[in-house]
């Protein structure tokens, strides 16, 4: 069978395709577009059709795949557009200002909590937070290693109590 003969057979089946397309799209214009896309693909890939098999079934599969691919493409496009709409200068500026203000309040509260710690707990804790190892802190402060670990542990407990509202609002 040549392309011309195949095209005639495909066109004969186009009315069945029209009804099938309406089930997918629920819109006459979209259904017409879907039928046209299906016919173009069928004629373009006629060499893949195996003569003697169900032509209408083959066309329906092409239509379904075309519809699904167009739907996925449309969904991605809408998602990209809505994401672009959400990310504009004013929303980014507002978000940045809000985050900066929130971070400043948090840092003020942390600094306030640290200032309330006794020096014997605050100094080892700050050194540990800066990345020093327990043994380095013990050597610097000329204190036993166990004492340094205890002081850091006590500092954590005190800070947790003072900053409790942050752990509750940011947990889970």
CATH number at residue 163: 1.10.10.10
Point out the domain boundary residue: 36, 65, 86: 86
Indicate whether 63 and 97 sit together in one domain.
no
Indicate whether 23 and 39 sit together in one domain.
yes
| pLDDT for 150 | 95
Point out the domain boundary residue: 61, 86, 111: 86
CATH number at residue 33: 1.10.1740.10
Indicate whether 58 and 71 sit together in one domain.
yes
At 97-113, the pLDDT tens digits run 666 666 777 777 888 88
Question: CA torsion, points 127, 131, 134, 137, in degrees to nearest 10?
Answer: -40
C-alpha distances in Å from residue 72, one per residue of 48, 63, 67, 141: 25, 14, 9, 64
Per-residue confidence at 134, pLDDT binned at 50, 70, 90?
very high
Residue 121, Cβ density class (10 Å: 0-12 exposed, 13-18 middle, ≥19 buried)? buried
Indicate whether 72 and 115 sit together in one domain.
no
Helix, strand and coil percent figures for the chain, each rounded to 5: 85, 0, 15
Q: How far apart are CA 82 and CA 94, in angstroms?
A: 18
**Closest C-alpha among 29, 26, 25 to residue 63:** 25
**Closest C-alpha among 46, 66, 68, 65 to residue 55:** 46
Indicate whether 77 and 116 sit together in one domain.
no
Cβ pair 159, 116 in contact under 8 A: no
Point out the domain boundary residue: 62, 86, 110: 86
Indicate whether 152 and 99 sit together in one domain.
yes
| pLDDT for 169 | 47
**Number of domains making up the chain:** 2
Indicate whether 13 and 34 sit together in one domain.
yes
Please give the residue range of the domain that contains residue 44: 3-86
| pLDDT for 151 | 94
Indicate whether 116 and 143 sit together in one domain.
yes
Indicate whether 138 and 96 sit together in one domain.
yes
Prediction pTM value: 0.44
At 54-94, the pLDDT tens digits run 988 999 999 999 998 887 777 766 666 555 555 555 555 65
Indicate whether 129 and 77 sit together in one domain.
no
């Amino acid at each position: 069978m040549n392309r011309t003969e195949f095209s005639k057979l495909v066109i004969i089946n186009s009315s069945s395709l029209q009804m099938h397309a309406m089930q997918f799209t629920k819109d006459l214009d979209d259904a017409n577009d879907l039928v046209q896309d299906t016919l173009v693909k069928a004629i373009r890939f006629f060499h893949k059709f195996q003569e003697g098999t169900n032509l209408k079934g083959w066309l329906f599969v092409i239509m379904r795949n075309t519809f699904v691919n167009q739907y996925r493409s449309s969904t991605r496009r809408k998602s990209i557009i809505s994401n672009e709409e959400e990310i504009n200068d004013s929303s980014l500026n507002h978000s940045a200002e809000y985050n900066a203000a929130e971070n400043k309040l948090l840092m003020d509260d942390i600094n306030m909590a640290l200032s309330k710690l006794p020096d014997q707990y605050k100094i080892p804790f700050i050194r540990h937070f800066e990345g020093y190892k327990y043994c380095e802190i013990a050597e610097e402060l000329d204190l036993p290693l166990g004492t340094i670990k205890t002081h850091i542990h006590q500092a954590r407990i005190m800070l947790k109590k003072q900053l409790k509202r942050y752990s509750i609002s940011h947990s889970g």
